[in-house]
């Protein structure tokens, strides 16, 4: 069994909870209150601005020029996807970017915690650990896109979201990072693979928390 397959099996119950979260099912069937999706778009804009930075740190940690180039390409792809998808959402939903280039008026506690987790791994860990940290975001969204492909939510914004993550261009990016994780794991020590597993699980939990944050319009308590 490949290392990626071991990780996917490890987080199966966590990902199933994401698949069935009312935010995700609400997008698929069109029942999600639009204010929840507005909040998600704002927070995801903040998240992706940090995600691209973590991908860029990963590029600097690569051990060969090709991997550096590909990780940098992924960072650029995150920007392009954010621009393509979220800019479209912003127009449809009447949202505007702030001076930092994202749409969140204030980053929610979960968004801050998740991105801090990614930065902690990026600055302290290897490229393999960086990929383990960011891969759940790629992979989970791809599986959601596949699971709910063909859904007809009856709302153009929700339809666009589902179609984006079920598209083949996104699948190609995901599969590339899965392969890169497996290549790194082949040479990694047992200790490093244990760290990679723990990091992957933590990011998977944060992905679930991101749905919950958006669904409940999470705010700072003080």
| Catalytic residue IDs | 137, 207
H or E stretch at 92: helix 87-93
In whole angstroms, what is the distance from residue 60 CA to residue 20 CA? 37
Query: By the 8 A CB rule, do 129 and 199 touch?
Result: yes
Query: By the 8 A CB rule, do 188 and 202 touch?
Result: no
Q: Which two tokens stand for residue 21?
A: 């979260």
In whole angstroms, what is the distance from residue 62 CA to residue 39 CA? 35
Q: Work out the end-to-end distance of the chain between its first and last CA atoms, rounded to an integer number of angstroms.
A: 47
**Residue 43 CA: distances (Å) to CA of 12, 22, 126:** 25, 18, 27
């Amino acid at each position: 069994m490949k290392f990626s397959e071991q990780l996917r099996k490890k987080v199966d119950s966590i990902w199933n909870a994401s698949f069935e979260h009312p935010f995700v099912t609400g997008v698929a069937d069109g029942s999600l209150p639009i204010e929840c999706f507005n909040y998600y778009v704002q927070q995801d804009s903040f998240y992706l601005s940090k995600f691209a930075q973590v991908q860029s740190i990963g590029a600097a940690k690569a051990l060969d020029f090709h991997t550096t180039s590909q990780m940098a390409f992924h960072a650029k792809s995150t920007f392009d996807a954010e621009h393509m998808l979220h800019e479209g959402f912003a127009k449809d939903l009447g949202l505007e970017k702030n001076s930092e280039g994202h749409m969140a008026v204030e980053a929610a506690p979960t968004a801050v915690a998740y991105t801090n987790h990614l930065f902690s791994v990026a600055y302290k860990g290897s490229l393999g650990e960086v990929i383990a940290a960011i891969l759940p975001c790629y992979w989970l969204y791809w599986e959601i896109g596949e699971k709910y492909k063909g859904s007809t939510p009856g709302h153009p914004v929700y339809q666009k979201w589902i179609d984006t993550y079920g598209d083949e261009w996104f699948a190609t990016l995901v599969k590339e990072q899965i392969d890169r994780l497996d290549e790194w794991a082949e040479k990694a020590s047992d200790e490093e693979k244990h760290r990679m597993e723990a990091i992957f699980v933590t990011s998977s939990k944060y992905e679930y928390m991101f749905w919950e944050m958006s669904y409940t319009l999470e705010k700072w308590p003080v």
